[in-house]
Amino acid sequence: MSAATQAGTVPASTLVPLDVLERVRAEFLEMPGLRLTPAQARRLWALDEAVCDAILTALVDARFLVHSGNVAFMRAE
């Protein structure tokens, strides 16, 4: 079971591998000011739409990311 599923933030049908979730989190930590649209995030990490959306949602729910103006995701401060 993935971290995002364990936290109850995404449907069980969209499993989020913990290593991918941690990789996305690490990218935002390593690059201060990184702002990505969902489409950019999918391309950067080569993820399908459902998995990428689940990861971004899990990180927003964990208050690690914010969804700025319903356009881009960026690290919460």
Confidence label for 2 from pLDDT (cuts 50, 70 and 90):
very low
11 has pLDDT over 80:
no
What is the tens place of the pLDDT at every residue in 31-63? 999 999 999 999 999 999 999 999 999 999 999
Tokens standing for residue 30: 């390593």
Where do the structural domains in the chain lie, given as residue ranges?
3-75
Domain 3-75 is in which class? Answer: mainly alpha
Mapped onto helix, strand or coil, the DSSP state of residue 67 is: strand
Stretch (H or E) spanning 74: strand 72-75
Tokens standing for residue 73: 């995701």
Q: Looking at 1-77, which runs of residues are DSSP E strands?
A: 35-36, 65-68, 72-75
Which residues, listed in sequence order, are joined to residue 67 by a DSSP beta bridge? 73
Higher local confidence (pLDDT), 63 or 11: 63
